[in-house]
Amino acid sequence: MPAIPHIPDNAPFTPAQRAWLNGFLAGMYSRDQPTAQPPTATRNVAVLYASQTGTSERLAKKIAKELKLKGHTARVTSLESYAPTALATEQCALILASTYGEGDPPDHARLFFDQLCTDQAPRLDQLDYALLALGDSHYEHFCKFGVDLDSRLETLGAKRLCPTVTCDVDVDEPFEAWKSELLTRLSAATSAPPTPVIAPVVPTAPISLYHRKNPFLATLIDKRSLTHNISSKQTIHLSFSLDTSGLDYEAGDALAVLPSNDPCLVSDILEHAQLSGSEPLALPNSDRQTLAEALTHRLQITRLSRKLIEAFARAGACTTLLSLLKPEQQSHLDQYMHDRGLIDLILEHPGVVTSAQQLVDLLPQLAPRLYSISSSPRSHAGEVHATVAVVRYRSHNRERGGVCSTLFADRTAIGEKLPIYIQHNKKFRLPLDSATPIIMIGPGTGIAPFRAFLHERRATSATGRNWLFFGERSAETDFLYREELEQMTASGLLTRLDTAFSRDQAHKIYVQDRMIEQGAELFRWLEQGATLYVCGDATYMAKDVDAALHRILEQHGSLSPEAARDFVSNLHDSNRYQRDVY
Ligand SMILES: Cc1cc2nc3c(=O)[nH]c(=O)nc-3n(C[C@H](O)[C@H](O)[C@H](O)COP(=O)(O)OP(=O)(O)OC[C@H]3O[C@@H](n4cnc5c(N)ncnc54)[C@H](O)[C@@H]3O)c2cc1C
Ligand SMILES: NC(=O)c1ccc[n+]([C@@H]2O[C@H](COP(=O)([O-])OP(=O)(O)OC[C@H]3O[C@@H](n4cnc5c(N)ncnc54)[C@H](OP(=O)(O)O)[C@@H]3O)[C@@H](O)[C@H]2O)c1
Ligand SMILES: Cc1cc2nc3c(=O)[nH]c(=O)nc-3n(C[C@H](O)[C@H](O)[C@H](O)COP(=O)(O)O)c2cc1C
């Protein structure tokens, strides 16, 4: 057996990175050995995923690798390029499904799920399956797509290999539990004779050293306001140095940041819960921490969820909260949760929190925040930029702030470091053919990836035409990147720039109004093969822009509503309608 390479202590890595690399190398080298335990049974497994920002794709690849090491055959496929009829030919499928929108599939899995839900969907009596549903319980429809898919598969006759597991933000632990249960059941469920296999050498895709569990500490090298100080909102531009990290990204990717809470809010919570903060805790997968450290760096304290309110209400037998949890009270519960946080529960129900550990057990993990990257690696080498709307509001007699956006705005100075990693987004990319025209709809911070696209197209001398629709409240105070965009227009890089300043006149004007005004030209660009991109608010803007697109197709393409729907579906399917909405 060849010696396992070892990263020496003086190599330019942090201890955590060195330990990770040494573990990785040890794993790889021991895998190469033909002495690996032969598996007892093998299966041909389709590993399917429905992902938007890459988490379920990453887990799908991880489980496929382990299946192969156990001698099974595993093929990883996105549901984007998979049809229910193909599922009818599988014996065994593992599905990792993330939820978006209002409990919907990710954009790319929409067609698969729509087809699976029709009367023409095939019976799946031959299929054994296991499902991991990814989501975030702060959303009203927690893991709904995964749950709906699970029940549809069952209706069509497929049999569950192991119980469906839901992951709430922190995916790694439930994934490991699901995987180990599944691998046990998979081996047990097959009657195929053991195949004498040598554990295959798995070709390794380049794996980033930096991820959620091992973020890179990036130095903030620039921070400036993009809005005027008399504006009704605050949007800031940030640049981080990637230094010698080796982190790379493409225009269209997102920057993930592991935020920390405002220490003043943590102090308030501790004071009202009558805890000191110095109480030691044992948290899973972490060194010992004090309560104050956990509340600052690891736990979500600013948002409420049904799960948290339920646990809190039960712990304190709070009758008002318990009655809010009744199904018929959902709208009142939503209203209650909308602008309150943990501090409000503690103030309104004193005495419920009795110990540090009880408080910690109630709270979910603090999730990373994503920001569409607004730089191009070719134009801004060694840097990554973000464009951030700072969340501030007042409710229940308290000034409140978004955790991460106020961390950037108020609690991080130039020269300080924040933990980051890159969240790749292969579904939001410039066209491969650089001559393809692009139409970008990006109001507010939705401008971010389009600044990246434009810099990228300039750096690569792309010949395709570029059309940007930008919207904000007021031209005087909120015209983000005004000089840059005007310079790009003057240089001809931006073929067209259409702006919609919503509050500069008596009635609101939005980007979709400008699209409709320019409908004939927009339709011509689409006919000429343009790719259409939308970025920004998902709740209202993206839906209204979608409706405007249908209207333009009907009006200027003389299409019926059904034909316009098909046109848009085709745009989606051919990656000519890409959305990065939040
Ligand atoms: C793929 C992706 C890309 C993104 N790109 C960007 C980007 O480029 N730029 C950007 O700024 N953001 C972007 N976001 C959003 C970003 O990730 C954060 O969600 C955002 O910055 C808020 O995070 P926060 O920690 O500051 O606020 P949080 O602590 O998460 O608080 C936000 C919450 O505060 C509450 N809230 C906010 N306003 C009010 C109000 N007026 N009244 C009551 N409650 C309120 C709401 O519950 C809201 O969900 C992106 C998100 C995704 C998923
Ligand atoms: N709490 C806060 O202080 C705060 C502030 C800003 C943003 N946010 C949130 O942060 C997210 C991103 O905000 P952002 O700064 O990128 O910008 P944004 O809030 O999405 O606003 C950008 C522009 O889009 C307009 N707009 C509003 N509704 C629209 C619709 N249905 N269709 C098209 N355009 C519409 C806005 O107009 P009008 O605003 O004039 O309607 C504004 O001109 C949003 O989800 C928003 O809810 C919170
Ligand atoms: C814009 C947006 C909408 C979301 N909507 C939901 C939702 O309705 N229900 C839910 O459980 N999770 C929701 N989530 C959380 C994602 O499902 C979760 O972060 C998941 O891990 C993402 O997986 P992916 O990286 O594979 O796309 C949403 C996330 C985003 C960014």
| CATH number of domain containing 519 | 3.40.50.80
Q: Is the residue at 14 inside a domain? A: no
Q: What is the pLDDT of residue 35?
A: 39
Q: Could you give the maximum distance between any two Cα atoms of the chain, in Å?
A: 77
Task: State which of 346, 362, 378 marks the end of a domain.
Answer: 362
Confirm or reject: Cβ of 146 under 6 Å from ligand 3: no
Residues with Cβ within 8 Å of 264's Cβ and at least 6 positions away in sequence, in order, are: none
Ligand 1 pocket check: which of 107, 372, 391 to mutate, most ligand atoms within 8 Å of Cβ?
A: 391
374 with 356, same domain: the answer is no
pLDDT at 467: 99
Question: How far, in Å, CA of 301 to CA of 310, rounded?
Answer: 15
Same structural domain, 172 and 40: yes
pLDDT at site 37: 44
Two structure tokens written together for 545: 């822009």
Closest CA to 551 of 537, 534, 568: 568
Residue 565 forms part of a structural domain: yes
Q: Per the domain annotation, does 106 fall within a domain?
A: yes
356 plus 487 within the same structural domain: no
Identify the residue whose C-alpha is closest to ligand 2 atom 10: 389
Question: Are both 125 and 45 inside the same structural domain?
Answer: yes
Q: Residue 368: is it exposed, middle or buried by C-beta count within 10 angstroms (0-12/13-18/19+)?
A: buried
172 lines ligand 3 (CB under 6 A): no
Range of the domain at 380: 216-259+368-423
pLDDT of residue 172: 87
112 CB under 6 A from ligand 3?
Answer: no
My answer on whether 337 and 324 are in the same domain is yes
| 557 within 8 A of 521, measured Cβ to Cβ | no
154 and 84 within one domain: yes
pLDDT at position 379, please? 97
Residues ≥6 apart with Cβ < 8 Å to 133:
97, 98, 99, 143, 145, 146, 147, 149, 150, 164, 165, 166, 167
- Report yes or no on 152 lying in a domain: yes
> Of 338, 362, 386, at which residue does a domain stop?
362
For ligand 3, whether the C-beta of 134 sits within 6 Å is: yes
Question: Which CATH number belongs to the domain containing residue 110 in this structure?
Answer: 3.40.50.360
Q: Is 393 in the pocket of ligand 2 (CB under 6 A)?
A: yes
Q: In the listed set 323, 341, 362, which residue is the last one of a domain according to the structure? A: 362
Q: What is the pLDDT of residue 448?
A: 98
Residue 74 has what pLDDT? 96
Is residue 101 located within the same domain as residue 222? no
- Residue 345: which CATH number? 1.20.990.10
As a whole number of angstroms, the distance between CA 399 and CA 259 comes to: 19
Residue 200 lies in a domain: no
Same-domain check for residues 171 and 84: yes
Residues of the chain with pLDDT under 70: 1-41, 189-208, 283-287
84 in a structural domain? yes
| Residue among 55, 80, 99 whose CB has most ligand 3 atoms within 8 A, to mutate | 99
Give the pLDDT of residue 286. Answer: 62
Residue 58 and residue 44 in one domain: yes
Residue in 371, 420, 533, 541 to alter for ligand 1 test, most ligand atoms within 8 A of Cβ? 371
Collapse the DSSP code of 39 into the 3-class scheme (helix H, G, I; strand E, B; otherwise coil) and give the result.
coil
DSSP state of 447: G
Q: Is the domain of 53 the same as that of 109? A: yes
For residue 412, the domain's CATH number is 2.40.30.10
Q: Are strands 496-501 and 466-472 parallel, antiparallel or unpaired?
A: parallel
In a domain, 210, yes or no: no
For the chain, how many structural domains are there in total?
4
Residues 386 and 239 in one domain: yes
In a domain, 209, yes or no: no
Are 38 and 181 found together in one domain?
yes
